[in-house]
Amino acid sequence: MEIFRIQDKIISWQKIENTLRKALQMRARGLSQQETADRLAIDRTFISRLEGIGEIRKGQSIACIGFPLQNKKEVQDILEKEGVDFILLMSEKERLDFVNQRSGKELLNELMDLTARVRGYEIVIGIGSDERLKLIEGVLDGQFIGVEIGASPITEDKWVDPQEIRKILRSIRTAR
């Protein structure tokens, strides 16, 4: 256990670390800053400053949907590293399996659920054919950024420039 002596006080680093962890866990579960502060007997402003110190990304929530992607893993890694909140990428085989392994009713229900979920994000990046991008944009309320990878219908996986995806994500951050 790491101990610090500051004038006449003895400070436990472990106690500080445990309290910080509890505060962040409580906030992540949805408690307000004031509720968290009250339960831990600390100032609400401390919670606010703690969140500010550790903040990686502020503001808009981002989703990305794309298919059919040849370099799906590479694009997914970039999206994850850049903090994208929701990612749905498929190869052509995965897209066909998604459609063919469901009844019409199941497919419709799942597409409706996905649509509702994606509409909850402030920014949606779509990667796909010209017609698919128009369709996705028409269904969404929020800001939409399309990355066209060909004319409809696309029947084979297409390579997506990872640098273009990274550039889009970084431009979203600087636009805030």
Residues 78 and 26 both lie in one domain: no
- In tens, the pLDDT along 115-135 reads 989 988 889 999 999 999 999
Residues 28 and 67 both lie in one domain: no
Average pLDDT of the chain, as a whole number: 91
Mean pLDDT on 157-175 = 90
Two tokens at 149?
A: 């990878």
In terms of residue numbers, what domain contains 45? 3-54
* 89 in Cβ contact with 66 (< 8 Å): yes
Residues 81 and 40 both lie in one domain: no
Residues 14 and 93 both lie in one domain: no
The CATH number of whichever domain residue 163 belongs to comes to 3.40.50
CB count within 10 Å of CB 85 equals 15
The 3-class secondary structure across 19-45, one letter per residue, is HHHHHHHHHHCCCCHHHHHHHHCCCHH
Q: Of 13, 28, 54, which residue constitutes the final position of a domain? A: 54
Residues 67 and 105 both lie in one domain: yes
Residues 109 and 44 both lie in one domain: no
- In tens, the pLDDT along 58-111 reads 567 899 999 999 999 999 999 999 999 999 999 999 999 999 999 999 999 999
Q: What is the DSSP letter of 149?
A: E
- Give the pLDDT confidence score for residue 164 in this predicted structure: 96
Residues 80 and 9 both lie in one domain: no
Structural domain count of the chain: 2
Residues 77 and 30 both lie in one domain: no
Residues 42 and 79 both lie in one domain: no
* 112 in Cβ contact with 132 (< 8 Å): no
Q: What is the DSSP letter of 7?
A: T
Given a cut of 70, whether residue 56 has pLDDT beyond it is no
Q: Give the 3-state secondary structure of residue 148.
A: strand
* 126 in Cβ contact with 38 (< 8 Å): no
Element spanning 62, H or E: strand 62-66
Residues 36 and 118 both lie in one domain: no
**Structure pTM?**
0.66
Residues 18 and 68 both lie in one domain: no
Residues 48 and 83 both lie in one domain: no
